[in-house]
Amino acid sequence: MLHSDLINLRPTTLEDLDFVLSAEGHELNRRFVGQWSREQHAAALTDKDIIHLIVEGPAGGSEGYVILTGIQDPDLTINIRRLVIQTKGRGYGTLTLKLLIHWAFAHTDTHRLWLDVKDHNVRAQRLYANTGFKLEGTLRECLRTEEGFESIQIMSILRHEYIRMNSSPTC
């Protein structure tokens, strides 16, 4: 579906769900992302309002996955519901995010692309800010976890911001 020199994003299949569940539940990821059951992921594969993608690395192996929701939103708003990269430190997250942003604004009528990020996930917040996302606000202690309540930050990028970023001369 989407590709760069280093990664490909392709539709998730039922055969990919073992990888998806393993990546989602991995100790390096589970405190930062929501947890779905196999049934929820399987249902997402056929939901016309959701795009579920596998991130493949240069050798073709699964490196992560992405879930986009709101594909049919009448307000032209897409949510990056989940972005999980299993192989850290190779730039796959940045490349995936850049591909998604470009796709949303260059190939759809999307006006607003948004996501939420846990308050303590500073690494992800930097990634999102570096790719053009702006902080909209914080939903304080809105998630109940085993450790208590956690806050999330809402971040977004608008079509005109994307256009301005991509039309500015580079040095």
Over residues 69-102, the pLDDT tens digits come to 999 999 999 999 999 999 888 899 999 999 999 9
The pTM (predicted TM-score) of the whole model is 0.92
- pLDDT of 171 over the 80 cut: no
Residues paired with residue 64 on neighbouring β-strands, in sequence order: 55, 85
